[in-house]
Amino acid sequence: MYDVAVIGCGVTGAAVAYHLSRYDCRVLVLEEKNDVANGTTKANSAILHAGYDPAPGTLMARLNVRGVELAKEICRKLDVEREEIGSLVLAFNEEDDRHVRRLYEQGLANGVPGLEILSAEAVLEKEPNLSREVTSALWAPSAAIVNPWEYALAMAETAVTNGCDLQLSSPVTAIEKTEGGFRITTPSGSYESRFVVNAAGLYADRVHEMAGGSGFHIQGVRGQYYIMDKSQGDLVHSVIFQCPNEMGKGILVAPTVHGNLIVGPSAEPVDSPDDVSNTADGLDYVRRCAARSVPSINYRESIRNFSGVRAAAEIDDFIIEESKEAPGFINLAGIKSPGLSAAPAIAEEAFRLLVKGGLDPKEKETFTDTRRRVIFNRLSGEEKAALIRKNPLYGQVICRCETVTEGEIVEALHRPIVPRSIDAIKRRCNAGMGRCQGGFCGPRVHEIIARELGLPMEEVLMDEDGSYLLTGPTKGGAAQ
């Protein structure tokens, strides 16, 4: 019998597991995909929002500001790429100017630090590649960019290191109320737990219904993006927003922690939570809107398009509450933007509800709360030479675009949560994220995964379950 079962291991579920792993209780995390952070968490804008956008008094407002403050320490301790570069919300006319003033006042009410309204001249001095049509902007220095999948992975790995059980490829198919809590059925087995935390993202309403609950519906909203080559990465040096509308925070242009430029997202309701297709119309919309902010983006330097689907509920706020129909079942639902920003604060709220419901955990005497990785291309020449002398695998560059070494890939394959696909390696150490998008390094990464994990080549996946690359033996017995 587990004390708490967390359903879903995107950034919200990972943050809950990380928080609970500080305490002497048995925690299970069930994730439907074959890796953590492989849904909305891997396909978003990678922004830690300052917190001026949510309406004062909402959970979003309070947890956004608290979450970005917690993220500073979490990213520092767990070695996650994060850069506090600030954000600008641009105005282009008198109506936008009034909206910027309202956002400024909301931000003050929400406790966002350092907000300023800048004149057009001050905006263009800060960001000279912006449109000359800008009339004013809201400056929020506490906004940051982050590596979103590494953020979630770091918290999940730390939870596992501290004793949490993680079951991947384990979609929940049934939930039964028992005398002592809940029985949860998955293809990997049946599990019993006193409490359940529903962090199932786009499927949170369906998971709640399995436990006999009702009261909210999740609508998937797809956002389409461009990722630009590093040649475009210096066009802007802060996160550039336009005034938000009813569909979200609008089209943004921002640097990434890896030195690229991200442009997007659109906002399109979709029938299927799994519809992450890109469309010509959607991408054209992103380009046209982004040109209003940064007209000089060269889309010939686009290296990838992607889409992510975010979870929107009927109310414009997070749903964080115990189920009325199933006591002990905690819903964390409708976690759209600023969900990435708020994740560790959402975990604190979930913990309070669990304690209120009867969980009585004691803090562990020993808790591992640090984590370090080697990012070879960020080392000095002396540090690189010393590392290669210690382990020659760090002298073998596998991904030329991002200068990722065999040593980094091997290290990633022996972490607490073992990656079993080429894209899982890409998310952990950036191999394949560069201009050629794995065209050169993909086969070598494939070989290293098979070698290190003792797998036949044909069992190594591209990404999710079923995404096989090789299907049969050649004359020499190797897969083709």
**Residues 369/73, Cβ–Cβ less than 8 Å:** no
Q: What is the 3-state secondary structure (H, E, C) of 235-266?
A: CCCCEEEECCECCECCCEEEECCCCCEEEECC
Structure tokens at 364: 């562990």
Distance, CA of 46 to CA of 275 (rounded, Å): 20
Q: Residue 213 has which token pair? A: 């609950």
Tokens of 111: 């406790």
49 has catalytic annotation: yes
Residues making up the chain, counted from first to last: 480
Residue 258 backbone zone (phi > 0: left; psi -120 to 50: alpha; other: beta): alpha
Please check whether residue 205 is in contact with residue 217, taking contact to mean a CB–CB distance below 8 angstroms.
yes
Q: Are strands 82-83 and 144-146 parallel, antiparallel or unpaired?
A: antiparallel
Report how far residue 417's alpha carbon sits from residue 36's, in angstroms, rounded to the nearest whole number.
Answer: 9
Which is the catalytic residue, given 19, 49, 99, 208? Answer: 49
At 15, phi and psi to the nearest 5? -65, -40
Contact 24, 361 (CB under 8 A): yes
Active-site residue set: 49
